[in-house]
């Protein structure tokens, strides 16, 4: 994969950080995009200190003009973009009654419009080179009902169907588009959620959340990154238009 260019949004922390590391280890040149430039630069520096290639940029994926500008810069610097990982996203907790219009718009702008903006920027590039891989971060919430996740589920359902549309429309251009659907993954978001809502019983709630996966634990960011690395590879060249669960059996066994 040497000389192939992989762009990862939300690459400064959590799952995005692990994806960047995995692709760097697989000899991709990784372009780390994040709203937090310092975090993106830290990820890129870590890749480079272990012998890989990486650059870092700050971008708000919900801002179409900013996304267009950063993708133009990437193509000027690198001449191509081979991989796009639409990983940037935010969470939201609450039923429809507890979700304000402002909260709904915020989640939509990042989780839905952000995927649209980045995919819209990269598809013409991939069409011209008649090759490319797009991987979108969906969720178990794309296909099953999760309590108190109204806005988040809305956004991830849209990610799933955008994936299907892109895969169908551009298969003849050599572009593969898939999404992955994680269950609960142990990330800083989980720690923040527990601290905010269950500060007095964090360990008890962590155990409860872990056991909601039939396999008995949460996933790790490294496990998600391993699946992404595979889907980017030539070994996955027959896979497109797929929603691939990585959820400890949550969807299949619990439902």
- Inter-residue contact 159 to 138 (CB < 8 Å): yes
Look at residues 160, 116, 165, 153 and name the one whose alpha carbon lies nearest to residue 9. 116
- Inter-residue contact 123 to 170 (CB < 8 Å): yes
Catalytic residue IDs: 152
Question: HSE of 74 in the Cβ direction (CA atoms, 13 Å)?
Answer: 31
Question: HSE of 18 in the Cβ direction (CA atoms, 13 Å)?
Answer: 16
- Inter-residue contact 166 to 228 (CB < 8 Å): no
> Rounded to whole angstroms, how far apart are CA atoms 20 and 35?
15
Give exposure, 95-112, as e/b (b: 16+ Cβ within 10 Å): eeeebeeeebeebbbbbb
Length of the chain: 255
């Amino acid at each position: 994969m040497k000389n192939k260019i992989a762009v990862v949004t939300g690459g400064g922390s959590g799952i995005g950080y692990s994806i960047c590391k995995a692709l760097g280890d697989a000899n991709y040149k990784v372009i780390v995009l994040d709203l937090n430039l310092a975090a993106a630069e830290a990820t890129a520096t870590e890749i480079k200190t272990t012998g890989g290639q990486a650059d870092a940029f700050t971008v708000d994926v919900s801002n179409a003009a900013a996304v267009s500008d950063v993708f133009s810069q990437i193509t000027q610097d690198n001449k191509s973009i081979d991989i796009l990982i639409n990983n940037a996203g935010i969470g939201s907790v609450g039923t429809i009654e507890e979700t304000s219009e402002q909260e709904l718009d915020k989640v939509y702008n990042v989780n839905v419009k952000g995927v649209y903006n980045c995919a819209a920027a990269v598809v013409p590039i991939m069409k011209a080179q008649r090759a490319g891989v797009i991987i979108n971060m969906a969720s178990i919430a794309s296909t099953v009902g999760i309590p108190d996740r109204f806005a988040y589920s809305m956004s991830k359902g849209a990610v799933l169907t955008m994936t299907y549309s892109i895969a169908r429309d551009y298969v003849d251009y050599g572009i593969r588009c898939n999404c992955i659907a994680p269950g609960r993954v142990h990330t800083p978001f989980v720690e923040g959620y527990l601290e905010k809502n269950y500060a007095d019983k964090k360990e008890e709630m962590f155990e409860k959340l872990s056991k909601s996966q039939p396999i008995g634990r949460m996933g790790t960011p490294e496990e998600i990154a391993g699946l992404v690395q595979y889907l980017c590879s030539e070994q996955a060249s027959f896979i497109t238009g797929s929603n691939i669960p990585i959820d400890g059996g949550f969807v299949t066994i619990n439902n």
